[in-house]
Structure 1
Amino acid sequence: MAHEIAATLAQYASDSRIVRELHDVPPYRVYEVLLDDRRAVLKIDDHPRGHAAAEGRVHEYVATETSAPVPDVLAVGSDHYLTEWRGEFEESSETIDSDWAHAAGAWLGTLHADTTGEFGGFGQPRAGDDTLELSVHEDWVDAVRERIAHHRPFLSTVGYADVADAVSQFFRDHPHVFDGAGGPVLCHGDVHPEHVVRAGRGGTVAIDFEHALVAPAEYDYWRTVLPYIEADDDVDSRVLHAFRAGYESVHALPAGFEQRREVYLVLNTVAFIESLYLQKTVEPTKRDQMGEWMRTRVFRTLDEIRERES
Structure 2
Amino acid sequence: MNDRTPAELRARAADVEVREVLHAVPPHDVFEVEVDGRRAVCKVSVDERGAAGVEGRTLRRVDRETSVPVPEILDVGSNWFLAAYRGDAPEEPPDDDRVLETAWLRAAGRTLATLHEDARFDRPGLLAIDGDPSDPASGLRVDAPSGATWPDALDDLLAIYERSVAGTGYADAIVEVRDFLSAHAERFAALEGTTASLLHGWFTPDHVAVAGGEATCVIDFEHALAGNPEWDYWRTAIALFRAGGWDGPDDAESTFRDAYESVRPLPTGFDERADAYRAFVAASHLDSLATQRGIDDETREVAAFLSTHVTEAVDNCRESWADG
Cα pair distance change 1:301/1:293, threshold 3 Å: same
What are the equivalent positions in structure 2 for 1:132-147 lying under 5 Å apart? Answer: 132-136=140-144, 138-147=148-157
Aligned residue number for residue 247 of structure 1: 260
2:99 to 82, 89, 95: 95
**Cα displacement (A) at 1:211:** 0.6
| Structure 1 residue 170 corresponds to structure 2 residue 183 | no
Contact 2:18/2:33 (CA < 8 Å) preserved in 1? Answer: yes
Aligned residue number for residue 159 of structure 1: 169
Q: Secondary structure of 1:237's match? A: coil
**Cα displacement (A) at 1:107:** 1.1
Aligned residue number for residue 242 of structure 2: 230
Aligned-pair RMSD on alpha carbons?
A: 2.2
Counterpart residue type for residue 121 of structure 1: R
2: CA distance, partners of 1:14 / 1:242: 49
Cα pair distance change 1:305/1:200, threshold 3 Å: closer
Counterpart residue type for residue 253 of structure 1: L
Aligned residue number for residue 126 of structure 1: 128
2: CA distance, partners of 1:140 / 1:236: 34
Counterpart residue type for residue 189 of structure 1: G
TM-score scaled by length of structure 2: 0.88
1: CA distance, partners of 2:213 / 2:284: 35
Counterpart residue type for residue 25 of structure 1: V
C-alpha distance after superposition, 1:103-138 (max 9, x if no partner):
1111111111112xx322111111122000102353
1: CA distance, partners of 2:259 / 2:84: 27
2: CA distance, partners of 1:40 / 1:92: 19
Unpaired runs of 5+ in structure 1?
Answer: none
**Cα displacement (A) at 1:4:** 4.1
Unpaired runs of 5+ in structure 2?
Answer: 132-137
Counterpart residue type for residue 155 of structure 2: R
| Structure 1 residue 111 corresponds to structure 2 residue 115 | yes
Counterpart residue type for residue 204 of structure 1: T
Cα pair distance change 1:298/1:167, threshold 3 Å: same
Contact 1:99/1:242 (CA < 8 Å) preserved in 2? Answer: no
Aligned residue number for residue 69 of structure 1: 69
**Cα displacement (A) at 1:305:** 1.3
What are the equivalent positions in structure 2 for 1:1-310 lying under 5 Å apart? Answer: 2-5=2-5, 7-89=7-89, 93=93, 95-115=99-119, 118-129=120-131, 130-136=138-144, 138-178=148-188, 180-183=190-193, 184-199=196-211, 202-231=214-243, 232=245, 234-280=247-293, 286-310=298-322
TM-score scaled by length of structure 1: 0.92
**Cα displacement (A) at 1:238:** 1.6
Q: Secondary structure of 1:87's match? A: coil
2: CA distance, partners of 1:271 / 1:178: 18
- The range that moved more, 15-24 or 46-55, is 46-55
Identity over the aligned pairs, expressed in percent?
Answer: 36
Contact 2:2/2:17 (CA < 8 Å) preserved in 1? Answer: no
C-alpha distance after superposition, 1:239-289 (max 9, x if no partner):
11221122122222112211111111111111110111221299x665110
